[in-house]
């Protein structure tokens, strides 16, 4: 096969990856748990070129036209391709076309979906058929740890619990906790910032241990992880929600108290957090979480989604509202070129 195309979804972390034991290899300090999304998807088409041919990276438009990707993005994709070649014993060059089907200016992280799609498409074009756990490790080679979770649908934990010896802890692949059909949770995303964030997650991970609250959060995580795992297992939003919000606040508390500090929130963020608290006072079970950015993901049951989306759209500072929800993971996609 000389071309392969894959669509892989983004994910929203319920328990966050924040701080790395080995940043270059994306080995996290703590386990994370996420929900894979359905609608926010990155497409990647990979064509194998002759051995030694330089890699090409293109952005694909909806009409099938290709334009060269920005230098920094191309460098990151080439870095991932080098790691994949090394791991898979290939010397091929690759032509890569990529496209996100969520608004490019929505300020939503696309590295998890993009690098998961790239890793899977490369294995396909090389005629390999690795197990999902292997794909998770290959996606992580991008340096985007959250990409390790996006190779699975539904509810996902990463890494697999270690053996307890610190040597190998954190190095395992992601593992599915429950499939999408288990619980049809929705993620109503309030976009309050359209541009790219000023400080990358990579830099956030690097600064995290400088916060005086970093160790305090880690001490609370085993209990929080247990709560989140069992709330997912029993489909209990009342049990999941408070932990979800505490975790997001902790991440941002650590970011804001890192040296130098990282502020991701804007006034729209706090307005949405207040609107979600108001929704709860009125009896709607809706809970907020934010990754490393200003936008707010509001988790709720499907029946409450219309009410939540309408309420968020009215909040000052909200530019748009995206309705997404749990999805079933990567799939083969039509060729982009
Ligand atoms: C806050 O290093 O995976 O989203 O490469 O930008 O996707 P990207 O970041 P990565 O860190 C993710 C940080 C996070 C929390 C999470 O998704 O677990």
- pLDDT category at 163 given cuts 50, 70, 90 is low
Residue 259 CA to residue 146 CA, distance in Å, equals 24
**Diameter of the chain measured on Cα atoms:** 62
- CA of 9 from ligand 1 middle (Å) equals 14
pLDDT at 1: 60
Neighbour tally for 235: CB within 10 Å: 14
pLDDT at 165: 62
- pLDDT category at 64 given cuts 50, 70, 90 is confident
Residue whose CA lies nearest to ligand 1 atom number 6? 201
Percent of the chain with pLDDT over 70: 96
- CA of 133 from ligand 1 middle (Å) equals 19
- CA of 145 from ligand 1 middle (Å) equals 6
pLDDT at 161: 75
pLDDT at 62: 85
Helix (H, G, I), strand (E, B) or coil at 163: coil
Percent of the chain with pLDDT over 90: 90
Residue whose CA lies nearest to ligand 1 atom number 10? 144
Q: For ligand 1, what atom is nearest to the CA of residue 16?
A: 18
Q: Is the pLDDT of residue 11 over 70?
A: yes
pLDDT digits (tens, 9 = 90+) for 217-243: 999 999 999 999 999 999 999 999 999
Residue 139 CA to residue 145 CA, distance in Å, equals 8
User: Quick check: CB of 109 below 6 Å from ligand 1?
Assistant: yes
φ, ψ at 134 (rounded to 5°):
-65, -40
Residue 199 CA to residue 202 CA, distance in Å, equals 8
- CA of 166 from ligand 1 middle (Å) equals 22
pLDDT digits (tens, 9 = 90+) for 276-321: 999 999 999 999 999 999 999 999 999 999 999 999 999 999 999 9
pLDDT at 197: 85
Comparing 7-16, 53-62, 96-105, 109-118, which segment has the lowest mean pLDDT? Answer: 96-105
Residue whose CA lies nearest to ligand 1 atom number 8? 144
Residue 124's nearest CA partner among 151, 154, 153, 158 is 151
Residue 269 CA to residue 237 CA, distance in Å, equals 22
Q: Name the packing angle between helices 214-233 and 237-256 (round to 10°).
A: 160
From residue 331, alpha-carbon distances to 42, 71, 151, 272 in Å are 11, 28, 10, 33
User: Quick check: CB of 201 below 6 Å from ligand 1?
Assistant: yes
Rg (CA), the chain: 19
From residue 115, alpha-carbon distances to 90, 221, 229, 315 in Å are 18, 27, 26, 33
User: Quick check: CB of 32 below 6 Å from ligand 1?
Assistant: yes
Residue 337 CA to residue 334 CA, distance in Å, equals 9
Contact, 213 vs 197, CB < 8 A? no
- CA of 281 from ligand 1 middle (Å) equals 31
First to last CA, the chain: 15
Comparing 102-116, 161-175, 188-202, 233-247, which segment has the lowest mean pLDDT? Answer: 161-175
pLDDT at 94: 98
- Partnered with residue 51 across adjacent β-strands are 92
pTM confidence score? 0.97
Per-residue pLDDT averaged across 266-278, rounded?
98
Query: Which range in 39-48, 164-173, 195-204 is most confidently predicted, on average pLDDT?
Result: 39-48
pLDDT at 196: 82
- CA of 225 from ligand 1 middle (Å) equals 17
Contact, 164 vs 335, CB < 8 A? no
Residue whose CA lies nearest to ligand 1 atom number 5? 144
Q: Is the pLDDT of residue 166 over 70?
A: no
- CA of 147 from ligand 1 middle (Å) equals 8
Residue 90's nearest CA partner among 133, 64, 41, 55 is 55
Give 236 or 198, the one with higher predicted confidence: 236
Q: For ligand 1, what atom is nearest to the CA of residue 147?
A: 3
Q: Is the pLDDT of residue 90 over 90?
A: yes
* For ligand 1, mutation pick of 30, 73, 108, 112 (most atoms within 8 Å of CB): 112
């Amino acid at each position: 096969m000389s071309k392969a195309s894959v669509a892989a979804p983004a994910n929203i972390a319920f328990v966050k990856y924040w701080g790395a034991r080995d940043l270059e290899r994306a080995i996290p300090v703590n386990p994370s748990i996420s929900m894979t999304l359905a609608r926010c998807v990155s497409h990647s088409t990979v064509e194998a070129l002759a051995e030694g041919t330089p890699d090409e990276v293109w952005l694909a438009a909806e009409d099938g036209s290709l334009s060269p990707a920005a230098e920094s993005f191309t460098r990151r994709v080439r870095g991932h391709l080098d790691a994949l070649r090394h791991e898979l014993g290939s010397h091929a060059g690759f032509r890569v076309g990529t496209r996100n089907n969520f608004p490019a200016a929505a300020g939503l992280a696309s590295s998890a979906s993009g690098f998961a799609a790239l890793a899977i498409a490369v294995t396909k074009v090389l005629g390999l058929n690795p197990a999902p756990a292997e794909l998770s490790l290959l996606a992580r080679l991008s340096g985007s740890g959250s990409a390790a979770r996006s190779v699975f649908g539904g509810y996902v934990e990463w890494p697999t619990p270690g053996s307890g010896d610190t040597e190998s802890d954190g190095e395992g692949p992601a593992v599915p906790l429950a499939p999408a059909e288990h619980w049809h949770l929705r993620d109503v995303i309030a976009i309050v910032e359209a541009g790219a964030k000023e400080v990358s997650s990579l830099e956030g991970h690097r600064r995290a241990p400088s916060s005086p609250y970093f160790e305090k959060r880690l001490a609370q995580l085993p209990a929080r992880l247990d709560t989140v795992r069992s709330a997912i297992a029993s489909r209990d939003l009342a049990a999941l929600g408070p932990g979800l919000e505490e975790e997001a606040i902790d991440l941002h508390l650590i970011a804001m108290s890192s040296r130098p500090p990282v502020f991701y929130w804007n006034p729209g963020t706090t307005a949405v957090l207040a609107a979600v608290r108001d929704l709860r006072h009125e009896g709607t079970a809706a809970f907020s979480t934010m990754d490393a950015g200003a936008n707010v993901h509001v988790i709720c049951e499907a029946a409450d989604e219309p009410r939540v989306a309408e309420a968020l759209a009215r909040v000052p500072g909200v530019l748009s509202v995206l309705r997404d929800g749990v999805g079933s993971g990567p799939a083969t996609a039509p060729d982009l070129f």
